[in-house]
Amino acid sequence: MSDFFTVSIIIATLASGIRLAVPFLLAALGEAVGQRAGVLNLGVEGVMLIGAFAAYYAALEWDSAALGLLMGLLVGMVMGLIYALITVVMHAEQGISGIGIYLFGLGFTDLLFQKLVGTPRSIDGLQTRPLNWLADDTGRAGELLFSHTILTYVAFLLVPVIYWLITKTTFGLNVRAVGENPQAADTLGVSVNGIRTAAIIIGNTMAGLAGAVLALEVQIFQQNLTAGRGFIAIALVYFGAWRPVGVMAGSLLFGIVSSTVLRLQVEGIISGSVASIANMAPAVLTVIVLVVVSRRIGQPAALTRPFTRDG
């Protein structure tokens, strides 16, 4: 009996780890596209917060999780346009303007929440589980793989999609070209600013979606809801060496570590202080991976460098 209990807990923990990985995965995949085009967006955290609030508020007002998702996506897109204006058109320093976007998102969502909602009210999450019918017949493995909401599948399907987009399409070729050598790409007639703008919009839309998924997952909003997840997502891009599969591995690592720590704490197996140390582990590991990665693989050559014709 206790054996069964343990196995089912491990399955449940892994399954929730996969679920917790989704916001990381969406935000980091989007950020990877932007960075491949040579644009660092440190504002992911802020865009996630704005996406999360938009989703929360839409879901609260219209009673529809799907509309919430849509709103998260849309505000992400708008933030992408704004960020493209700042970095591509105005040539602002990318690292710092990202911090500006973060502060704006942090303050603005808190402001809207206090003004429009006030007392926290919970919303309904998205409950569409398209593969649930498979879970009953396939036992524990089935629970692990088939019990998720549609968002989880969409997020993980985006891994091959983004891989295909970056490596197999003309758009992806252009993205890599403007990220590695914008002058050469420009000479060949590629619109550097156009490609970068498109990549930024893709990235921010996915960040907005990541925030929306998070809000629908926890079914509540509060100040600083994302609690650093957007910053971790940026680190995951480096962790995964700018490759979608690597990004996915990193997201799963962070997700599963958090779910395991949470579970161990709930079960009373580890104390709060041990949980803090365990929660630190992915960040420490990321620093170590950064040391290894920076020796082995170079980042996109033109990352953070604004493009001008005269170099």
Partner 1 sequence: MLKMSDNQQRFSGGYDVGRFFRPFAGLAVPAGAVVAALAVGAILLGVFGANPLTGYRELFTGAFGGPDELAATALKSIPLMLVGVGICIAFRTGVINIGGEGQIIMGAILATLVALALPDVPRPILVPLVMIAGGVGGGIWGAIPGALKAYSGVNEILSTIMMNIIAGFFMSFLLEDWLIAPGEIKIQQTKRLTQNADLPILPGGTRLHLGIVVALIVAILGYLLLFRSSLGMRLRAVGHNPHASRAAGMRVEMSITQALAFSGACAGIAGAVLVFGSESHRLIGEGGPLAFTQSAGFNGIVTALFGGLHPLFTVLSSYLFGGMLAGGISLQRAVQVPQALVIALNGVVVVFVVGSLKLRARVQRWAEGDIQMEDRA
The residues binding partner 1 (CB under 8 A) are 40, 42, 46, 86, 90-93, 95-97, 99-108, 110-111, 114-115, 223-224, 227-228, 231-232, 234-235, 238, 271-273, 275-277, 279-280, 283-284, 286-287, 290-291, 294-295, 299, 310
Q: How far is the CB of 276 from partner 1 (least distance, A)?
A: 4
Residue number, 2 or 273, with CB nearest to partner 1: 273
Residue number, 9 or 227, with CB nearest to partner 1: 227
Q: How far is the CB of 33 from partner 1 (least distance, A)?
A: 18
Q: How far is the CB of 309 from partner 1 (least distance, A)?
A: 12
Q: How far is the CB of 175 from partner 1 (least distance, A)?
A: 20
Question: What separation in angstroms does the CA of 233 have from each of 22, 41, 61, 224, 274?
Answer: 11, 11, 29, 16, 24
Residue number, 172 or 211, with CB nearest to partner 1: 211
Residue number, 120 or 228, with CB nearest to partner 1: 228
Q: How far is the CB of 283 from partner 1 (least distance, A)?
A: 4
Residue number, 145 or 275, with CB nearest to partner 1: 275
